[in-house]
C-alpha cells in the first residue's frame, strides 16, 4: 500500500472542498484502518462546503471532511482482537471520551467531550480512515455499501423516531429532508397509525411519498387541519418529530398536537428563535432534544429493522463516482435531492 492517499479536504478557509493528496493515517494499538468504499454527503458537509458561520467557528483547516461511510477493514491495531481484516463495516463518527460521568455510566452518546470525524477530526472522505475499533459497526452481508454509507443519518432518524412509543399513534414529521423521510419510514415500520410529513418543497414531498406509505402535506399550499379531517383525526397528532429546524414548522407542530403530546426535536434552528412556551405548558407537551445516535443501541436497532423489512433505499436519489464530487455537492445544495452517495472505488488515483 502506498503511504499516500486521496481525500476531500477543506484545504483553505473558503467555500468548497478540494481533492488533495494526504498521508494514509497511522493507526494506534486500539484503532483500525478502513478502506472506504462509499460515502454519503450530509447537510453538515454542505455547511462545511459553504463555509458558513458555524463551519468557520468549528472546523480546523486543513481537515479531511466526511463522516458517513461504508468500507472494509484493512489493518488492525495490535490490541484489536475482536475484528478481522476484510470485515465490511460502517462506524460511529462521534469519538467519545471515557472520563465523563455519562461515559462511565455507559451513556456514550451523552459524553460532553465528543469529537466528530470530518468536523473536528480527520474524516471519512478519503481512501482510508483511521477509527477506534470501539467505533466500528460490522455490516451483515444483506446491508450493502450504499445503505452502509447512510447509516449515520438513518441513525439520527431512528434515534429520534424511537424517542417515544409510536405504536398505533398518529405521527407528524415536519421536514421531508432525507432524515425526515427516514424517520417517517421508521414510524411506519414500528406501527404508527397515520404518518403525515410536511415540507414547503414539493420535490421532497414527492420523494417522501415514493419512499414511505405516508401523507405528504405542502404547508405552503395546504392546511394541516384539512389532512387531519380527511384522516378522521379529531384531536391532533400524538407525536411530533421535528426534522426541519424551521421555526414555523415547530409552531405548527405545537398547534396540531394533542393535549399531552410528545415532540422529539432533531432539526437545528439557525439561531435563537421565539417559542410560544405558554402554549406548550397549557398543552402539557413533552419536548425531547435529540443529538446524534445512541452508541450503540441505535446501531443495533437500525440494523435489525433493516434486516426485518425497513426499506430506505430510495431515499438515495443520486450516486456519483467520487471524482464527480463537485456535481454531488451541487445536487445536495440544490435541495432537489435525497441522499447523495459517492463511490470511492472508481477514484482516479493517478491525478
Does 341 bind ligand NAD (CB under 6 A)? Our answer is no
Residue 153 or 245: the one with the smaller Cβ distance to Zn ion is 153
Q: Which of 39, 47, 65, 67 is flagged as catalytic?
A: 47
Which of Zn ion, ligand NAD, none lies near 243, with the C-beta cut-off 5 to 8 A by kind? ligand NAD
Does 198 bind ligand NAD (CB under 6 A)? Our answer is yes
Does 77 bind ligand NAD (CB under 6 A)? Our answer is no
Residue 68 in contact with residue 150, Cβ under 8 Å?
Answer: yes
Task: Tell me the backbone φ, ψ of residue 210, rounded to 5 degrees.
Answer: -75, -30
**Of the residues 275, 291, 321, 323, which one makes contact with ligand NAD according to CB under 6 A:** 291
Minimum Å gap between C-beta 159 and ligand NAD is 8
Name the residue number minimizing CB distance to ligand NAD. 177
Of 133, 131, 117, 126, which is closest to residue 4 (Cα–Cα)? 126
**Of the residues 292, 312, 329, 340, which one makes contact with ligand NAD according to CB under 6 A:** 292
**Of the residues 200, 280, 326, 327, which one makes contact with ligand NAD according to CB under 6 A:** 200
Name the residue number minimizing CB distance to Zn ion. 42
Task: Give the N- to C-terminal CA distance of the chain in Å, as an integer.
Answer: 17
Residue 8 in contact with residue 56, Cβ under 8 Å?
Answer: no
Cell triple for 262: 410528545
> CA-CA distance, 243 to 178, in Å (whole number)?
9
Minimum Å gap between C-beta 250 and ligand NAD is 9
Does 180 bind ligand NAD (CB under 6 A)? Our answer is yes
> CA-CA distance, 240 to 62, in Å (whole number)?
39
Does 280 bind ligand NAD (CB under 6 A)? Our answer is no
Minimum Å gap between C-beta 78 and ligand NAD is 34
Show Cβ contacts of residue 107 under 8 Å, excluding neighbours closer than 6 positions.
none
Does 119 bind ligand NAD (CB under 6 A)? Our answer is no
SS3 of residue 189 by DSSP: helix
SS3 of residue 146 by DSSP: helix
Residue 13 or 248: the one with the smaller Cβ distance to ligand NAD is 248
Residue 121 or 206: the one with the smaller Cβ distance to Zn ion is 121
- Residue 288: count of CB within 10 angstroms of its CB: 12
44 is catalytic: yes
318 is catalytic: no
List interacting residues with Zn ion (CB under 5 A): 42, 68, 152-153
Does 290 bind ligand NAD (CB under 6 A)? Our answer is yes
Angular region, 275: left φ>0, alpha ψ -120 to 50, beta rest: beta
Residue 111 or 127: the one with the smaller Cβ distance to ligand NAD is 111
CA 241 to chain centre: 14
CA 2 to chain centre: 32
Show Cβ contacts of residue 277 under 8 Å, excluding neighbours closer than 6 positions.
none
Minimum Å gap between C-beta 47 and ligand NAD is 8
* Residues within the interface to ligand NAD (CB under 6 A): 43, 156, 174-180, 198-201, 204, 219, 243-246, 248-249, 266-268, 290-292
Amino acid at each position: 500500500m502506498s503511504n499516500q492517499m486521496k481525500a476531500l479536504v477543506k484545504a483553505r478557509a473558503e467555500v468548497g472542498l478540494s481533492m488533495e493528496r494526504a498521508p494514509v493515517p497511522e493507526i494506534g494499538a486500539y484503532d483500525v484502518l478502513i478502506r472506504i468504499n462509499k460515502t454519503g454527503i450530509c447537510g453538515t458537509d454542505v455547511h462545511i462546503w459553504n463555509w458558513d458561520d458555524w463551519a468557520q467557528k468549528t472546523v480546523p483547516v486543513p481537515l479531511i471532511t466526511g463522516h458517513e461511510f461504508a468500507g472494509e477493514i484493512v489493518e488492525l491495531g495490535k490490541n484489536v482482537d475482536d475484528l478481522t481484516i476484510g470485515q465490511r463495516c460502517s462506524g460511529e463518527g462521534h469519538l467519545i471520551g471515557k472520563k465523563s460521568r455519562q461515559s462511565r455510566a455507559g451513556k456514550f452518546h451523552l459524553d460532553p467531550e465528543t469529537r466528530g470525524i470530518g468536523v473536528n477530526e480527520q474524516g471519512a472522505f478519503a481512501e482510508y480512515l483511521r477509527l477506534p475499533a470501539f467505533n466500528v459497526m460490522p455490516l451483515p452481508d444483506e446491508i450493502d455499501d450504499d445503505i452502509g454509507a447512510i447509516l449515520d443519518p438513518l441513525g439520527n432518524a431512528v434515534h429520534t423516531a424511537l424517542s417515544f412509543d409510536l405504536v398505533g399513534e398518529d405521527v407528524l414529521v415536519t421536514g421531508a429532508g432525507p432524515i425526515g423521510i427516514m424517520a417517517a419510514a421508521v414510524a411506519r415500520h414500528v406501527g404508527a397509525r397515520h404518518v403525515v410529513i410536511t415540507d414547503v418543497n414539493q420535490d421532497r414531498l414527492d420523494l417522501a411519498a415514493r419512499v414511505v406509505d405516508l401523507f405528504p402535506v405542502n404547508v405552503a399550499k395546504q392546511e394541516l387541519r384539512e389532512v387531519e379531517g380527511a384522516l378522521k383525526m379529531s384531536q391532533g397528532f400524538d407525536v411530533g418529530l421535528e426534522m426541519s429546524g424551521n421555526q414555523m414548522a415547530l409552531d405548527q407542530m405545537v398547534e396540531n398536537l394533542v393535549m399531552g403530546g410528545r415532540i422529539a426535536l432533531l432539526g437545528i434552528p439557525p439561531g435563537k428563535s421565539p417559542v410560544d412556551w405558554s402554549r406548550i405548558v397549557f398543552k402539557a407537551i413533552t419536548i425531547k432534544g435529540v443529538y446524534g445516535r445512541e452508541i450503540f443501541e441505535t446501531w443495533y436497532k437500525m440494523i435489525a429493522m433493516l434486516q426485518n423489512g425497513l426499506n430506505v433505499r430510495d431515499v438515495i436519489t443520486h450516486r456519483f463516482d467520487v471524482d464527480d464530487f463537485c456535481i454531488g455537492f451541487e445536487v445536495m445544495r440544490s435541495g432537489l435531492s435525497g441522499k447523495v452517495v459517492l463511490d470511492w472505488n472508481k477514484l482516479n488515483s493517478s491525478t
